[in-house]
Structure 1
């Protein structure tokens, strides 16, 4: 990594984020849990398995159709625990406030966090508050951490993915990224798109109850579905084949992407899950997804090939194919 200073792209979930983690943080913090590079660390305490995760939220703007920075922070942490097979138990919340931030906005955000946690069945049990001088932060940043209990017998991990597995996504992609784009004042876009921010613990619990043959799940946030699939292909050495025609995209999202020159495959989601499972169970899992409010637009989008290092291959609508690389950085900075 031949860069002397941090760039916005280092926080985007793409290639530069990967380099930052593997070349700066991992050499110093290296341990068995961290080396897995999953959405949560999985640890064994006694005869029980738990997962632990932490995340920080710096989204701009802090209020958007479908949510705000508070509900987003709760949902994001719950989802990171859930895709590792965890049953979320409790969260922490840390606030970095800029001097002059409106008290009514803080109350609104705190109320939103409380409601999101209650809906998901978890409690915020500890926290911290810091205030910095004007100009030292952009209004409000939030950090959340969470602990979950794992009861699913098989490990959900990139290492568990097998050739022949089916790949599913729980619904339309790019909703959150397109929503935030439309709310950016400098773009002046008007749209009815709403963020898909939602807690996925209930949906994931239904999926896990339906099949003992789920191998891996991921929460495709920064960098979108394309980034997490490219990352998984790179980590596993497996070839992943995705059918572009099966990718579910709302027409409003497609329209925003066409105007701005973006690809919904790489736009952030905050209420979707990508699933790798044994092919014979795919239709059963699809039925479960479509019977849940957060999975009605679910699709089987592709399959896993051999361990040939072929990477992520997109079968295009026009009948061709192309290799999809991990993007350099997030298309839209400060998306979560």
Structure 2
């Protein structure tokens, strides 16, 4: 019998292991993959692909533990739908159906549960996807912060695209769909633990309309898509740089950040590139399709602030750099944990 080689040496599981940064990657690669690796799990993507007769299905699952349950611009119920359909979209798949699991804490107000089920129904209708099944469990008071939601989704992959870090090449362009950091800062301020006020709302929304448009106009040039949720843009691009063995060079001045988000980050000592998003995504596209892809995104309602923010280079491998207007560069690393726990 083959011996399983486990490389995870942390003695306890900490919050950082679920934050999407280096600690999360260490847990997945060091403990989970040695036991669960198989031919269908060769890449660490947000979706898994299953080939069937004449088509390719995409499958994904995600859990949502945001606190507070409701925040400006959204709530946990809306996140549970959008987050899962967006993972499918990032795999080039049109969402078809979802199933959901509700973990309810004893003592949760029925009105709060109804509010979140209503939010899920509204979000599913907007995303044009049906919730076709699920499960419900109730745990003791104090064990679930009111409500946890898990959603799993299945989608039909568009055969015109093949999205993978393996396809990324030097010269490819990096496009961002809009301003970053709105969701993470919104949830942080909604907790009421800081004496800060700002007019910011979460960016949560379904992304398939944007992806569908991109596929229609630039399918041959699309290399890779990712919604930068936990860990933000920095983590998503560092994972790409590592997996593709390339360098990502960003133009600092081109990265869109709302003034209120930037101001909050400066006060709190945070980098907007590390803040979670729930309604933006990154596109790696070949240079000949970059302009048409960008213009197409801008024509989709909600995509008007899309920007080309950088390019792929050959060196230094496995690195993400930000270039200032004066020519200097700084290294953009992923965090070990997350400065904003429980935001998705």
| TM bracket (short chain) | over 0.9
Deviation digits for residues 262-305 of structure 1 (CA, Å, limit 9, x no counterpart): 11011000001100001111111111111112311100000011
Q: CA deviation at 1:11?
A: 0.8
250, 261, 283: which is aligned to 1:253?
A: 261
Range 148-157 or range 282-291, more displaced: 148-157
Which is worse superposed, 82-91 or 185-194?
185-194
Normalising by structure 1, report the TM-score.
Answer: 0.98
Which residue number in structure 1 is paired with residue 229 of structure 2? 221
Pairing of 1:154-173 with structure 2 (within 5 A): 154-173=161-180
User: Distance between the aligned counterparts of 1:225 and 1:239, measured in 2?
Assistant: 14
Q: Please give the residue correspondences for 1:308-323 in structure 2 after superposition, counting only pairs within 5 Å.
A: 309-323=317-331
1:267 aligns with 2:252: no
8 Å CA contact 1:152–1:208 kept in 2: the answer is no
Query: 1-side partners of 2:316 and 2:160: how far apart?
Result: 29
The CA distance in 2 between the partners of 1:331 and 1:193, in whole Å, is 18
Residues 1:189 and 2:196 aligned together = yes
CA distance in 1, matches of 2:85, 2:318: 33
Question: Which of 35, 42, 47 is residue 40 of structure 1 equivalent to?
Answer: 47
**Equivalent-residue separation in structure 1 for 2:248 and 2:139 (angstroms):** 46
Task: Indicate whether 1:23 and 2:30 are aligned.
Answer: yes
- Return the offset for 1:56: 0.1
Count residues with an aligned counterpart.
Answer: 336
Q: Which runs of structure 2 are paired with 1:85-104 in the superposition (5 Å)?
A: 85-104=92-111
Name the residue aligned to 1:178: 185
Aligned to 1:106, which of 99, 113, 134? 113
Q: Does 1:234 align with 2:242?
A: yes
Looking at structure 2, the residues matched to 101 and 125 of structure 1 have their Cα atoms a distance apart, in angstroms, of: 24
Of 123, 145, 160, which residue of structure 2 is paired with 1:153? 160
- Counterpart of 1:300? 308
Consecutive unaligned residues in structure 2, runs of 5 or more: 1-7
Which residue is equivalent to 2:56? 49
Query: Which is worse superposed, 312-321 or 298-307?
Result: 312-321
For normalisation by structure 2, the TM-score amounts to 0.95
2:315 and 2:37 map into 1 onto residues whose CA distance is 26
| Inter-partner Cα distance in structure 2 for 1:307 and 1:129 | 50
For residues 328 and 269 of structure 2, the distance between their equivalents in structure 1, rounded to whole angstroms, comes to 21
- How big is each residue's C-alpha offset from its partner over 1:107-140, in whole Å with a ceiling of 9 and x where there is no partner? 0000000010011110000010000011121110
Tell me what 1:135 maps to: 142
Q: Distance in 2 between matches of 1:75 and 1:154?
A: 22
- 1:308, distance to aligned residue in structure 2 (A): 5.1
Q: Does 1:329 align with 2:310?
A: no
Residue 127 of structure 2: which of 116, 120, 125 is its match? 120
Query: Which structure 1 segments of 5+ residues have no match?
Result: none
| Secondary structure class of the residue paired with 1:27 | helix
- Tell me, what secondary structure is at the counterpart of 1:35? coil
- Cα separation, 2, equivalents of 1:310 and 1:230: 7
How big is the shift at 1:87? 0.5
CA deviations over 1:154-206 (Å, ceiling 9, x no partner)? 31111111111000000000010110111112113222100000000111101
Q: Which is further off, 171-180 or 318-327?
A: 318-327
Partner Cα separation in structure 1 for residue 71 and residue 325 of structure 2: 32
Going from structure 1 to structure 2, the CA distance change for 1:294 and 1:39 (only over 3 Å counts) comes to farther
1:203, 1:264 → 2: CA distance? 23
1:318 deviates by 4.4
Q: How does 1:194-205 map to 2 (within 5 A)?
A: 194-205=201-212
